[in-house]
Amino acid sequence: MTEIIQPRAGILDIEPYKGGASTAEGVANPVKLSSNENPYGPPAAAVEAVRRAAARLHRYPPTDHAALRAAIGAAHGVDPERVVCGVGSDEIIALLCQAYAGPGAEVIHTEHGFSMYRISALASGATPVEVPERERTTDVDAILGAVTQATRLVFIANPNNPTGTMIGEAEVARLADGLPPHVLLVLDGAYAEYAEGFDGGAALVDARENVVMTRTFSKIYGLGGLRVGWGYGPAHVADVLGRIRGPFNLSLPALVAAEAALGDTAFIERCRSENARLRAFLAEALAAHGVPSDPSHANFVLARFADEAEARACDTFLKAEGLIVRPVAGYKLPNCLRITVGDESACRRVAHTIGRFKAEAA
């Protein structure tokens, strides 16, 4: 047998990330409610910006992202000097692990936390440490209890995916205050815009040296296909990430589209209010059919079934009707299906179809 080169320890423990399904066998135009995408498409201003950028594709994009960072600063009330832009917030998560974790380090994430935390920790050579949640909600005491001398990063998404639950600002501050100085707290705010009156943790970043926030253009800004996200941290963290990111990580179309999207405030406001209205409708309709869910602060609802068999059967039933949702057994929630809040017609269809499923099973 010939010896072949082996990757670093931990790499082969990575289960490659699986995105939400987008096709259903035998259905021509399925409704995709499996990836928490914006049902209203990209903002028109972003589409127009990409069209205009097409004529300049022979030019390298700017490396400092200055225009986009200034627009982010103005839109979100943050200091542009401490904003770092990435190829989706996934890249910011990976850069944080690369910079602060690595072999010998421990990276804490929660029981039902976003899978990229574990993947990026392992990719850096670090050891992911999973801590329990309480009733599908981040448990600050469990996290603090898991911290060791080797801990470097703690990732929590607030609101969390796939649970949709969130912890309050006082709890997040208690977590930040309880961490020793050798640990960085990362607040993933991918769904922050959907939570009423929430800054994603920006004020906490400004008040501490050990807190970083990540944000994305993939959800409410409707640009998942372009891959733009950003991190906001203390100056020392922004400096570190700026040294290791690729100089041309964001393409020209990505930069101009994200900047344009920030300016389309009417679109964003409509997405926020429609999401809130339809999320309430969906949760109530499902509850009326005997399918409970936790109060969601995001753009999806985590529907809870009696057991794994019922969740699987419902997923199959929905798929046959052209409705694609997300099974979350991989997130230790085998009896649940995560359903993106779509537009009104999608929400009505999915609620009605789950009602039929429950009636036929009864």
Ligand X SMILES: *Cc1c(COP(=O)(O)O)cnc(C)c1O
What is the nearest approach in angstroms of ligand X to the Cβ of residue 25?
26
Residue with tokens 């910011």: 92
What is the nearest approach in angstroms of ligand X to the Cβ of residue 84?
13
In a 10 Å sphere around its CB, with 0-12 CB exposed, 13-18 middle and 19+ buried, how is residue 234 labelled?
Answer: middle
What is the nearest approach in angstroms of ligand X to the Cβ of residue 307?
25
- Within 9-86, residue ranges assigned H as helices are 44-53, 66-76
Distance from chain centroid for Cα 328: 14
Q: Where along the sequence are the contacts to ligand X (CB under 6 A)? A: 36, 88-90, 114, 157, 161, 188, 190, 216, 218-219, 224, 229
What is the nearest approach in angstroms of ligand X to the Cβ of residue 95?
12
CA distance 295 to 306: 18
Decide whether 187 or 285 has the Cβ nearer to ligand X: 187
Decide whether 218 or 353 has the Cβ nearer to ligand X: 218
What is the nearest approach in angstroms of ligand X to the Cβ of residue 286?
21
What is the nearest approach in angstroms of ligand X to the Cβ of residue 36?
6
Decide whether 193 or 321 has the Cβ nearer to ligand X: 193
Nearest Cα neighbor of 85 from 257, 201, 296, 211 is 257
CA distance 339 to 294: 13
Q: Would you list the DSSP string of 255-316?
A: HHHHHHHHH-HHHHHHHHHHHHHHHHHHHHHHHHTT---PPP-SSEEEEE-SSHHHHHHHHH
Question: Identity (one letter) of the amino acid at 207?
Answer: A
Beginning with the edge strand found earlier in the chain, give each strand of the sheet holding 127-131 in spatial order. 83-86, 229-232, 211-216, 184-188, 151-157, 106-110, 127-131
Give the N- to C-terminal CA distance of the chain in Å, as an integer: 58
Decide whether 123 or 285 has the Cβ nearer to ligand X: 123
Decide whether 172 or 285 has the Cβ nearer to ligand X: 172
Decide whether 299 or 353 has the Cβ nearer to ligand X: 299
What is the nearest approach in angstroms of ligand X to the Cβ of residue 161?
4
Name the residue with the smallest CB distance to ligand X: 88
CA distances to 65, 188, 203, 261 from 218, rounded to whole Å, are 18, 13, 22, 11
CB 143 within 8 A of CB 109: no
What is the nearest approach in angstroms of ligand X to the Cβ of residue 218?
3
Structure-block tokens of residue 47: 């589409």
What is the nearest approach in angstroms of ligand X to the Cβ of residue 156?
9
Decide whether 224 or 233 has the Cβ nearer to ligand X: 224
Decide whether 164 or 357 has the Cβ nearer to ligand X: 164
Question: Identity (one letter) of the amino acid at 178?
Answer: G
Nearest Cα neighbor of 227 from 98, 86, 93, 116 is 86
CA distance 124 to 9: 10
Contacts of 147 (CB under 8 A, 6+ apart): 108, 154, 179, 180, 183
Cis amide leading into 103 (omega within 30)? no
What is the nearest approach in angstroms of ligand X to the Cβ of residue 90?
3
Decide whether 327 or 357 has the Cβ nearer to ligand X: 327
Decide whether 147 or 190 has the Cβ nearer to ligand X: 190
